[in-house]
Amino acid sequence: MEYRTLGNSGLQVSRLALGSYHVYDRMTIDQIAELLTTACAVGINWFDVGHYASAAHPEEKVSVTDIRFAWAREQAGIKREDYIHTQKLWYGGPRPSFKAQFAESLPRAQVDYADLAIYNADTAYHFGTPVDMKDIVTQMAGLIECGWLRHWGINQAFPADVRTAIEFAEKEGLPKPVMMQLPYNAFTRDMVEDPALLEITQEYNVVYQASNVLAVGVLVGRPIEAATRPTGYPSMDRSAAALAGQFAELAQSVDATPAQLAIAFALSHPQVVTALFGTSKLSQLQDNLGALDLLARLGADGVRDLLKDIPQDPNQVRVDRIEGPA
């Protein structure tokens, strides 16, 4: 496994990170434990374990993937200090304070603290709640001060909001964000490659974790019409489904699987330290590990060159066009 330093946190993170949402609810605890054991054995040290209190959609069933992660981790005998535990925090709408969210989510995941918490703007945008970055910085600092959190990051945000957060934290001597979690795949490049966001994040060494790297599986062959669980952004789903055949051919042309090519692409951008993906089967994890060999074999430029003519999703989320209040 290869590792990168996570911005100014000093954390050494594996280039591959494992998600939980929408996968651990479709697996047995034995299967999750086997997946986690294998992940640790190959050096993956970053597990994304959000408590999705249905985020911006309180009417939906609350996911129990964080609870199932805790059961499986115990079964697998993975010590808390041996991995990086990431939680999500939602702001606005009916969501309580960050402290109240952690008071609920840490016990669910059976941990005393999180290494990282990622602020997610979906709820605020959905409910039309003004995003007060100074309040977000202050609340994150409160979690860090009381020992529940080590570092924090931002999911999607306007570049101006990221700058406000960083400058306010600097002025007040509070912890700054160390990373951003952004959707990134060969046909959804705008957010990660946004020049205004890159200017700020490079200035302050805020690095990226790529998510949606497989377009929730649709890019690598999952049929959306058979969806028994939520898919991704509607536009991303459509574009991924239209591209899947071409993508598979390109992967075959370099003796790789589609998932390996998709993950190698996400890792080919210099600001991306790690690619986050979900795997509902051990065989998928084993397949995805090959992305690192592919990247080493073709080089970042080789991977990007292979995918340079892939048409871009015309309606992809961009940092100047993040979904606002409906």
Residues that bind ligand NAP (CB under 6 A): 19-23, 48, 50, 181, 183, 211-217, 220, 222, 232, 259, 276-280, 284, 287-288
Min dist. Cβ of residue 117 to ligand NAP (A): 12
* Smaller CB separation from ligand NAP, 146 or 253: 253
* Smaller CB separation from ligand NAP, 48 or 161: 48
CA atoms of 41 and 33, how far apart (whole Å): 12
Min dist. Cβ of residue 284 to ligand NAP (A): 4
Range 167-170, long-range pairs (CB < 8 A, 24+ positions): 168/133, 168/134, 168/137, 169/137, 169/141
The Cα-based distances of 16 to 87, 99, 110, 165, 275 in angstroms read 17, 29, 23, 27, 5
* Smaller CB separation from ligand NAP, 222 or 318: 222
Min dist. Cβ of residue 173 to ligand NAP (A): 29
Asked whether 265 and 185 are in contact (CB, 8 A), the reply is yes
Min dist. Cβ of residue 232 to ligand NAP (A): 6
Structure tokens given for 96 = 């309580």
Min dist. Cβ of residue 145 to ligand NAP (A): 25
* Smaller CB separation from ligand NAP, 185 or 201: 185
* C-alpha angle 326-239-310 in degrees, rounded to nearest 5: 130
* Smaller CB separation from ligand NAP, 212 or 274: 212
Min dist. Cβ of residue 171 to ligand NAP (A): 29
How crowded is the C-beta side of 50, counted as CA atoms within 13 Å? 22
* Smaller CB separation from ligand NAP, 131 or 174: 131
Cite the DSSP H helix spans in 111-194.
122-127, 133-145, 159-172
CA atoms of 148 and 169, how far apart (whole Å): 19
* Smaller CB separation from ligand NAP, 124 or 259: 259
Min dist. Cβ of residue 228 to ligand NAP (A): 9
Nearest to 179 by CA among 261, 118, 256: 118
Asked whether 183 and 210 are in contact (CB, 8 A), the reply is yes
Min dist. Cβ of residue 137 to ligand NAP (A): 20
Nearest to 314 by CA among 222, 242, 246, 248: 242
CA atoms of 163 and 200, how far apart (whole Å): 7
3-class state of residue 291 by DSSP = helix
* Smaller CB separation from ligand NAP, 86 or 139: 86
